Amino acid sequence: METLRDLVKTAKTHFDRREYTAAEGCLRKVMQHNVRYADVYHMLGVIHHTEGRFASAVDCFEKALSINPQYTEAALNLAVLYNDLGRYKEAKKLYGQLHKSVAGAKQGGSPTRIDPVLRGRLANLHAEVGDIYRGLGLYTQAAEEYRKALALQGGYVDIRTKLGIVLRECGDFAASLQELKQACKANGKYHPARIQLGVTHYAMGKTADAKKEWNGVLEKDPQHELARMYLQMCTAERKG
């Protein structure tokens, strides 16, 4: 006969293998014992979120946090879910609590190393908040969030490209160029960075430099519509 410990262990094994149906079956059996395990509710929350059962996922993450308020991963997953559901105030509040918790740990001398998976999720959460600000035209706030994301994961060229864009929208062309050039250097195959580098050059009146970037994209991807469109625009302006 399986013990409670065996059930939890088996559930975690299935969960780690992304065998969510089997994992959920084991977790349901655990819950029949009327025990309150934060890990059990957290795993169920992840499973429900993955399967689109958002209300159930929120409930599970909240229960996990009621059992263990210091459960960082559950708090992070709940914040991400709130954000996905458009519950931005709740996401921001929860994320603020997470930030304070990490800061408190630093002051208390506790280990400050963040698990790489959590680091990536935190970076993406900052980027998502930055996207919201950017959509509202609040470019300074968006830039701040993108910088926070890059402080966690400096290699995310898509986020660095977004930072370059909002800096351009703020009128800080020099900083925009710096970020976009860095993104291009980090990944020469990431065409959006080079396209946006050209746009910044163009906004500065440096049409020749802009065309150089767009032509560079077309050399690697002759079917790139945006690069072709921008170059056609320059040609039309010259004729006009």
Rounded to the nearest integer, the mean pLDDT of the chain is 85
pLDDT surpassing 90 at residue 209:
yes
Mean pLDDT of 60-81: 84
Task: Please name the CATH architecture into which domain 1-108 falls.
Answer: Alpha Horseshoe (1.25)
Confidence tier at 172 by pLDDT (50, 70, 90) = very high
Confidence tier at 236 by pLDDT (50, 70, 90) = low
Global pTM value: 0.57
Mean pLDDT of 2-8: 79
Helices 173-186 + 191-203 axis angle, to 10: 160
**Report for 48-57, 129-138, 169-178: range of highest mean pLDDT:** 169-178
The per-residue pLDDT for 100 is 61
pLDDT surpassing 50 at residue 240:
no
Residues 42, 64 contacting (CB under 8 angstroms): yes
pLDDT, one tens digit per residue, over 90-119 is 877 877 776 665 555 445 444 445 667 677
> For residue 43, with 0-12 CB atoms within 10 Å meaning exposed, 13-18 middle and 19 or more buried, which class applies?
buried
Lowest mean pLDDT among 34-38, 148-152, 173-177, 219-223: 34-38
Question: What are the residue ranges spanned by the domains of the chain?
Answer: 1-108
Output 230 or 176, whichever has higher pLDDT. Answer: 176
The per-residue pLDDT for 36 is 83
The per-residue pLDDT for 166 is 94
Output 196 or 237, whichever has higher pLDDT. Answer: 196
Q: How many residues are there in the chain?
A: 240
Mean pLDDT of 151-160: 93
